[in-house]
A and B are shown apart, each in its own frame.
Chain A
């Protein structure tokens, strides 16, 4: 038996006329004005990875400060600034845009058999709006933020830090996110190759589709919220100020109405990547295609109804608390459906452990941890105990860094050969993975214990009894940093001296593997006709699959 390809045929990989594919054209302006979704995707990817490193440096500084229980190394104010910058940079400039705008831009048209997104100019505009937002945010560093990334009023309305400027910056970044989401929605609806029905496109597309819906629906609300916050500071508008009859809890409602769904903007594309990687490296058709596809939509939908679980102790009514708690448990169901289906896909497969698969398995392992500890926080009684402690910090990092970040890394290692036309060093990739995995768990597993023992989050100083575990956690952050350093060395090495990549190094069946690496500017010489789903993998035979 032979593997079937998505369109039932292996397209002939065309000529060597442009071995550098879409990267052929050189020069600064060819990137600034590019309308090619692949180049725009790369611009996003490089920008967001830069801010990942920057946010990581802030994180290391926070951990160094927390080596000591008292006021050492940084002042308390500086500590407030550091954790605010770490949160804001990581959330708004890295983890929200990285997969959708970076990998999504690059791979959505390739995976659905299109030549580009629906609105290439809006796509380019969204990148430059994003950059404008970044510049405004950087300008606000003159009087850096100290409110935490959640900007809770009334403090954010009063602090001397430049919240107004930062609000406008985040408004712009949000606008870019909306434009990207809108573009993808229309692209997925209108530009699929002939024959690619809704149940034939790859699950990454389903993940991105659900993501785009959230971006389009939720982001405007946080936009208006930040606008109101800025107006509060500029003109004394008083919606969130109790002294003027306003209500600070209203800000929290608005903020979390966006910021909870947006964690699904972070995680759904990562889940999409995992759904691509698992079948390829298990050589088995994905188990439960429709269940995985619809659970993405279910997560997007239910995800809009759970924001109140951030506010159990903010003074909502008991009824509201109970409803939000119930819905929070409910949203775990579609997530669990995905996890079970991935495991069922691997069951009796011929699994190999190349770096993308290592990261994908890490995702499943760590995200399950993160998800289950979420149950502690979603339950009303335990929430009161764990609220605003390091338990929340650990939970969040297990879902976001253990989840989204590992998903992104799986995607980067999986698609790197396609994007750059060069292979990564598998040896370095594995070394980077091992240190990242160990470092991550040492850093954040300890924080569950710290939090359950009562160490509050965001406090610059803490009771001395927590010091030993904090030292362990900080040591873990250094192992983690070493892992990420190796990973980036591998990326940069791969860019310059990596082996030329074949069209399909992992023998994947989705459409992107049927064009050369890197793909030509127009993606497909001829648009393929799709007659089948892209998961027709068969088992590796002992006489060698390849």
Chain B
């Protein structure tokens, strides 16, 4: 019965464990954690994308007749706004990797402002729809439009809060070349939020 020799346990690495986790393990755990979280988010939106496919197949004419009501210019502007915000957050991560505190703060402020800009434009789009009597209950197309852009909008809002918290920490000088896990984690989340919009934009505004 494979009895193994007793082995000295002293010198084992207590530092490898959560209560006193080493930075390397914390970093790896956080990375795996955020990717898993993004996977759950993909599945959350996945339910809506499935619904989109089902009803687009069922009512192609409705989709064609309805999509003309959407404002392509505002949609395109918002796409550019979000892509820029992805750029600024990436620049922020690049900056703190070189230890540039001020640049990180500037990038985070810009990202949050761009996100706010996105939501303002979205607000005008929605009110325009309401003014024309187009509501979530109007038909399946607008149900999908409001549900998907609405849920995405909530994620933008959540992203702003997260980036805001990171900005506060950055303001306190918590990050450095060697430690910037929260910046990277929130950055990854922000890229995901942008990516969802990259799919929403053509699905609603471009392919009728």
Give A522 to B2 CA distance when docked, in angstroms.
30
Pull 20 A–B residue pairs with CB atoms less than 8 Å apart, ordered by A.
A4-B3, A8-B6, A182-B37, A183-B33, A186-B36, A190-B29, A190-B32, A191-B29, A194-B13, A221-B43, A224-B48, A235-B135, A235-B136, A237-B143, A237-B147, A238-B140, A245-B55, A250-B54, A522-B19, A531-B4
Cβ-defined contact, A120 with B44, below 8 A: no
Q: Give Cα distance in the complex from A250 to B144, angstroms.
A: 14
Check if A341 is an interface residue, CB within 8 A of chain B. no
- Asked if A239 and B51 sit within 8 Å, CB to CB, the answer is yes
Find out whether the CB atom of B51 lies under 8 angstroms from the CB atom of A228: yes
In the complex, whether A178 has a CB less than 8 A from a CB of chain B is yes
A interface residues (Cβ-Cβ under 8 A, vs B): 1-4, 7-9, 11, 109, 114-120, 122, 178, 182-183, 185-187, 189-191, 193-194, 216-221, 223-225, 227-228, 231, 235-239, 244-247, 250, 254, 285, 522, 524, 526-529, 531-532, 536-538
Contacts of A531 in B (CB 8 A): 4, 7
Q: Are B12 and A527 in contact (CB under 8 A)?
A: yes
Q: Flag if A228 contacts B4 (CB, 8 Å).
A: no
**Interface contact B44-A526, CB-CB below 8 Å:** no
Digitize B20-55: 1 where CB-to-A-CB distance is under 8 Å, 0 elsewhere: 100001001100110011011101111110110011
Q: Compute how far the CA of A221 lies from the CA of B41 in the bound complex, rounded to whole angstroms.
A: 9
Q: CB of B178 within 8 A of chain A?
A: no
A185 touches B17 (CB 8 A): no
For window 52-76 of chain B, which residues contact chain A by CB distance below 8 Å?
Answer: 54-55, 58-59, 62
The listed residue with most B CB atoms (<10 A of its CB), out of A118, A183, A538, is A118
Contact residues in B for A231 (Cβ distance below 8 Å): 136, 143, 147
Instruction: Closest B residue to A225 by CB, please name it.
Output: B47
Q: How far is the CA of A223 from the CA of B40 in the complex (A)?
A: 10
Contact A4–B18 (Cβ < 8 Å): no
**Quick check: A115 and B20 within 8 Å, CB to CB?**
yes
**Cα–Cα distance between A216 and B43 once the two chains are bound (Å):** 9
Contacts of B172 in A (CB 8 A): none
Q: Assuming A115-B17, A231-B136, what are 11 further A-B pairs, CB within 8 angstroms?
A: A8-B3, A120-B18, A185-B36, A191-B17, A191-B18, A228-B51, A235-B146, A237-B136, A524-B14, A527-B14, A536-B2
Q: Tally inter-chain residue pairs, CB-CB below 8 A.
A: 162
Task: Give the top 3 A-B pairs by smallest Cβ distance, nearest first.
Answer: A236-B137, A224-B47, A8-B4
**Which residues of B lie under 8 Å from residue A527 when comparing CB positions?**
9, 12-14, 16-17
- A221/B47 in contact, CB under 8 A: yes
CB <8 Å contact, A4 and B2:
yes
Chain A interface helix/strand/loop/mixed: loop
Collect the chain B residues with CB atoms within 8 Å of residue A237's CB: 136-137, 143, 146-147
B2 engages A216 (CB within 8 Å): no
B139 contacts A by Cβ under 8 Å: yes
Which of B3, B28, B39 is the one whose CB lies under 8 Å from A1?
B3
* Alpha-carbon gap, A191 to B26, bound state (A): 10
Quote the shortest CB–CB distance from B26 to chain A (angstroms): 9
Chain B residues contacting A247 (CB-CB under 8 Å) are 54, 58
Residues of A with C-beta under 8 A to B50: 254
Residue of B nearest to A521 (CB): B19
A149 to B116, CA, bound (A): 40
In the assembled complex, which residues on chain A have CB atoms less than 8 Å from the CB atom of B46?
A: 220-221, 224
Known: A4-B3, A244-B139. A223 touches B44 (CB 8 A): yes
**A115 and B19 form a contact (CB under 8 A):** yes
Option from B9, B28, B39 in Cβ contact (under 8 Å) with A9 = B9
Q: Given A9-B7, A115-B19, are A182 and B47 also a contact pair (CB < 8 Å)?
A: no
Q: How distant is A171 from chain B, measured CB to nearest CB, in Å?
A: 10
On whether A219 and B3 interact (CB within 8 A), knowing A115-B18, A194-B16, A239-B51, the answer reads: no
Which A residues are in CB contact (< 8 Å) with B143?
231, 237-239
Q: How far is the CB of B169 from chain A (nearest CB, A)?
A: 15
- The minimal Cβ–Cβ distance linking B31 to chain A, given in whole angstroms, is 9
Most buried by B among A9, A190, A531: A190
- Does B1 make an interface contact (CB < 8 A)? yes
Contact in complex: B51, A216 (CB < 8 Å): no
Chain A positions within 8 Å of B135 at CB level:
235-236
Choose one: A2, A8, A118, A532; the contact of B18 (CB below 8 Å).
A118
Kindly state the separation between the CA atoms of A472 and B14 in the bound complex, as whole angstroms: 58
> Contact between B17 and A250 (Cβ–Cβ < 8 Å)?
no
The CA-CA distance from A236 to B139 in the complex, in Å, is: 9
Choose one: A11, A191, A193, A225; the contact of B25 (CB below 8 Å).
A191
Report the separation of the CA atoms of residues A1 and B4 in the bound assembly, to the nearest whole angstrom: 12
- The answer to whether A219 and B18 touch across the interface, beta carbons within 8 angstroms, is no
Q: Which residue of B lies closest to A185 (CB)?
A: B36
Q: How far is the CA of A119 from the CA of B54 in the complex (A)?
A: 38
Measured CA separation A374–B9 after assembly (Å): 48
Closest Cβ of chain B: how far from A13's Cβ, in Å? 13
User: Taking the nearest CB of chain A, how far is it from the CB of B60, in angstroms?
Assistant: 13
Give CA–CA (A538, B1) in the complex, Å. 7
Residues in A with CB closer than 8 Å to B25 are 190-191
Q: Are A526 and B147 within 8 A (Cβ)? A: no
For A185, list chain B residues within 8 Å (CB).
32, 36
**Complex CA–CA separation, A246 to B139 (angstroms):** 10
Residue on B with the closest CB to A190? Answer: B29
- Cβ A116 vs Cβ B7 within 8 A: no
CB distance from B46 to the nearest CB of A (A): 7
Assess whether A1 is in contact with B7, with CB atoms less than 8 Å apart: no
Query: Bound state CA distance, A243 and B66, in angstroms?
Result: 19
Cα–Cα distance between A8 and B32 once the two chains are bound (Å)? 31
Contact A526/B139 with A118-B18, A239-B55 known, Cβ cut-off 8 Å: no
